[in-house]
Amino acid sequence: MAVEAPAHAGRVYELVGEQTIGGADLAQAHGAHATYEPETLAQARERLAASGAEPFQVPMLIGTYSTPPSLPVSWRVPVAICADCWAANPAHRSQRQSRSTPVRGSRLRRQSVSGSGGGGTVVLGTVAVTGAAGNIGSVVREALRHEATRLVLLDRVPLRREAACEEVHTVDLRDAVAVESAFSGVDCVLHLGGLPDEAPLGELLEANVLGTHNVLEAARRNGIERVVLASSNRVTGFYPTGHLTGPQDPVRPDGLYGVSKVAVEALGQLYADKFGLSVICLRIGSFEQTPTEPRHLATWLSPRDTVGYVKAALAAPPTTRFATVYAVSANTRRFWELPAPAELDYTPVDDAETHAAHIPGAHTPADSSAPQAGPYATPEFTLKHLRP
C-alpha cells in the first residue's frame, strides 16, 4: 500500500484490518504513517499483492478492528501500518475492538512451517505463554525467542528474564484480573498452564478449567484472536491400542485429569463459536527428551516436534476457527491420527522406533485391546487421589 513518509519508503506495510473512523483520527491513533483509502479489504489485498510485497513475511505488530454489521461496505477503511509506528505509539490500544464484542477481522499471519522439526521461519508478533516454567514451556520459550517480536511469559513460580524480547509475569491463572493485565498488547496465546496430571477434582477444576476460562476471557477482552490450548491424549485414554483414534472420535477420558481437559476443549469450542476466537487444541502426547518405556513407542512427542506443532498452531490461518489435533511424533506404533494439512500445516519427523533397542520390553507383543492410557486407566491411579 502507499507509504506517505519518505523515511518509511523502504518498508513493506501489512494490511491489518478495517477501520471506520476518519483519516485524522486514524493518523492520531496509529502514527503519521498509517495508510487508508476508501476501498474494500479485498481490493486493498489485491493492490498490495500487485506491488510485489510479501505481506505474510513481514514482522509486523498488527491490530484487529470490527465494524457494525449495518455499516455500508464503502465506509470501511482498510488500514496498513509499519511495525515501528505500531510499536512506538501505545495509543493504538484505544482503537482495539470493544471488550463486549466478538473478535472480528484478522491480525493473524500465516507462514509455512517445514516438516523438519519446525525449522521453517514463522513470523509472529507478541506471543503470551502460560506455564512458561514447565517442561514444555521451557522448550517452547527458547524456540519462540527467534520467531516472536515479544514474548510475554506467565507462571505462578517466578521467572527470570533471559532475553531482550522477554517480559515475565508471576501470575496465578485463577486471578482473572492479573491474566487480563498481562495479556495487554498480545497478538496470540499459547496456554500451557495448569495441573499436568491426575489430582483431586476440585484442584483440577480450579487450575485447568477455571484457569483456561480466565485465559480465554482475557484473550477476548484484549481482542486477541488466536489461542492455542494444551489439551491431552488422556481425553481418549480408554480407546484400545488397536484403534487409530482421531479428533472425530467421542471423548473417553481415562481419569479426572482427562475430564478436566475435555472441559478445556469445550471452553475453547465455546469461545470460538460464541465470541469468534480462533482456537486450536493440541492433544499432547508423551513429552520426553527420549522415549523410555514401551507405551512411549506409540505416544512419544519429541521436543523438536513439540516446537513444530506449537509454531504451526500459532501461525495457522485465521480461517481456522476451531481445531483439535493430536500432537504426537511420527511413531511407527502410534494409535492417534496425525493432523491433516487442512487442520494443521505440520508433519512430525521423529519416530520413537529409533530408540526401541534401548527400551526394556519394547519387543513384547502388545495387547490390542488394552487401553491407550496404559497404567493411567487403572482404578488405582485415580483412587489414590480421592478422599479415603
* Amino acid at position 124, single letter: L
What's residue 49's pLDDT?
57
Whether 245 is in a domain gets the answer yes
Q: Work out the pLDDT band at 43, boundaries 50, 70, 90.
A: low
348 grid coordinates: 512430525
Strand stretches in 114-232, DSSP E? 124-130, 148-155, 166-170, 188-191, 226-232
Check if the beta carbon of residue 39 is closer than 8 Å to that of residue 66. Answer: no
pLDDT, tens digit, 9 for 90 and up, residues 271-282? 999 999 999 999
pLDDT, tens digit, 9 for 90 and up, residues 126-177? 999 999 999 999 999 999 998 899 999 999 999 999 999 999 999 999 999 9
- Which structural domain range is residue 220 located in? 124-354
Q: Which residue has the higher pLDDT, 356 or 50?
A: 356
Q: Are residues 130 and 90 in the same domain?
A: no
What's residue 19's pLDDT?
39
The 8-class DSSP code of residue 339 comes to P
Q: Which residue has the higher pLDDT, 64 or 186?
A: 186
Give me the CATH number covering residue 142: 3.40.50.720
What's residue 388's pLDDT?
79
- Map residue 374 onto helix, strand or coil: helix
* pTM confidence score: 0.73
What's residue 57's pLDDT?
28
- 323: pLDDT strictly greater than 50: yes
- Which is nearest to 285 in space by CA: 301, 265, 261, 264? 301
Is 257 considered catalytic here? yes
Q: Are residues 129 and 63 in the same domain?
A: no
Give the list of residues 6+ apart from residue 276 with CB closer than 8 angstroms, or none: 102, 103, 104, 225, 321
The 8-class DSSP code of residue 307 comes to H
Q: Are residues 272 and 345 in the same domain?
A: yes
Whether 111 is in a domain gets the answer no
C-alpha 262/C-alpha 246 separation (Å) is 14
114 grid coordinates: 517445514
Whether 53 is in a domain gets the answer yes
Whether 366 is in a domain gets the answer no
What's residue 121's pLDDT?
53
- 10: pLDDT strictly greater than 50: no
Kindly report the CA angle at 106 between 222 and 102, in degrees rounded to 5? 50
What's residue 387's pLDDT?
81
- Distances in Å between the alpha carbon of 197 and those of 236, 258, 376? 15, 8, 10
- Please state, for a pLDDT cut of 90, what percent of the chain lies above it: 65
Q: Are residues 143 and 210 in the same domain?
A: yes
Q: Are residues 90 and 190 in the same domain?
A: no
The domain total for the chain is: 2
pLDDT, tens digit, 9 for 90 and up, residues 225-254? 999 999 999 999 999 999 999 999 999 999
What's residue 90's pLDDT?
43
Q: Are residues 78 and 158 in the same domain?
A: no
Q: Work out the pLDDT band at 66, boundaries 50, 70, 90.
A: very low
- Distances in Å between the alpha carbon of 332 and those of 298, 328, 329, 348, 354? 7, 11, 9, 12, 10
Q: End of a domain among 51, 79, 95?
A: 95
Whether 290 is in a domain gets the answer yes
Mean pLDDT of the chain: 79
Among the listed residues 36, 65, 257, 346, the single catalytic one is 257
Q: Work out the pLDDT band at 21, boundaries 50, 70, 90.
A: very low
Q: Are residues 348 and 212 in the same domain?
A: yes
Q: Which residue has the higher pLDDT, 76 or 204?
A: 204
Q: Which residue has the higher pLDDT, 1 or 263?
A: 263
What's residue 104's pLDDT?
37
Whether 282 is in a domain gets the answer yes
What's residue 31's pLDDT?
40
What's residue 122's pLDDT?
55
Q: Which residue has the higher pLDDT, 267 or 123?
A: 267
- 39: pLDDT strictly greater than 50: no
Mean pLDDT of 40-50: 52
Q: Which residue has the higher pLDDT, 25 or 373?
A: 373
Whether 381 is in a domain gets the answer no
Report how many helices (DSSP H) and strands (DSSP E) the chain contains, helices first: 11, 12
Q: Are residues 189 and 336 in the same domain?
A: yes
Q: Which residue has the higher pLDDT, 147 or 198?
A: 198
Q: Are residues 164 and 224 in the same domain?
A: yes
Q: Are residues 81 and 137 in the same domain?
A: no
pLDDT, tens digit, 9 for 90 and up, residues 330-348? 999 999 999 999 899 999 9
What's residue 17's pLDDT?
44
- 7: pLDDT strictly greater than 70: no
C-alpha 353/C-alpha 342 separation (Å) is 27
CA atoms in the 13 A half-sphere facing the CB of 316: 33
- 13: pLDDT strictly greater than 60: no
Whether 182 is in a domain gets the answer yes
Mean pLDDT of 28-48: 44
Mean pLDDT of 170-193: 98
Q: Are residues 80 and 139 in the same domain?
A: no
Say how many C-beta atoms besides its own lie within 10 A of residue 51's C-beta: 13
Q: Which of 53-67, 220-234, 372-386 has the lowest mean pLDDT?
A: 53-67
- 190: pLDDT strictly greater than 50: yes
C-alpha 212/C-alpha 159 separation (Å) is 21
- 377: pLDDT strictly greater than 70: yes
Q: Are residues 281 and 213 in the same domain?
A: yes
Check if the beta carbon of residue 278 is closer than 8 Å to that of residue 320. Answer: yes
